[in-house]
Amino acid sequence: MVLTDLHKGETAVVVRLAVEHEALKQRLLHLGLKEGKAVRLKTAMPFGGPVMIEVDGQAIGLRRKEAASIEVR
């Protein structure tokens, strides 16, 4: 399952960051989005727009493509 499969308000645990760009992966790690962290989908914009997630009480906006490369369970 990937992050974009979650429904609004649903929480999951990050299993793997399968992000292609190393710089983006490092940015996500600095924001606290790491393997084993709980993440909640706050909202997903329609028509393939960005998603807003919450990690450790911090809201993070991600492009849908980036969110789809984050595996959760």
Chain segment 11-69, per-residue pLDDT in tens: 999 999 998 899 999 999 999 999 999 999 999 999 999 999 999 999 999 999 999 99
Q: Is the pTM of this model over 0.85?
A: yes
The full 3-state SS of the chain, as one line of letters, equals: CEHHHCCCCCEEEEEEECCCCHHHHHHHHHCCCCCCCEEEEEEECCCCCCEEEEECCEEEEECHHHHCCEEEC
**Residue 4 belongs to a domain:** no
Q: Does any domain span residue 26?
A: yes
Instruction: Supply the pLDDT for residue 19.
Output: 87
Domain membership of residue 33 (yes or no) is yes
User: Any idea what the CATH number is for the domain that residue 25 is in?
Assistant: 2.30.30.90
d(Cα 22, Cα 40) in Å, to the nearest integer? Answer: 23
Residue 30 lies in a domain: yes
Q: Is residue 65 part of a domain?
A: yes
Would residue 22 count as lying in a domain?
A: yes
> What is the structure's pLDDT at 47?
94
Question: Could you tell me the residue range of the domain that residue 38 belongs to?
Answer: 10-72
Q: How many domains does the chain have?
A: 1
Expressed in angstroms, the distance from the first to the final Cα of the chain is: 6
- The Cα–Cα gap between 53 and 48 comes to 15
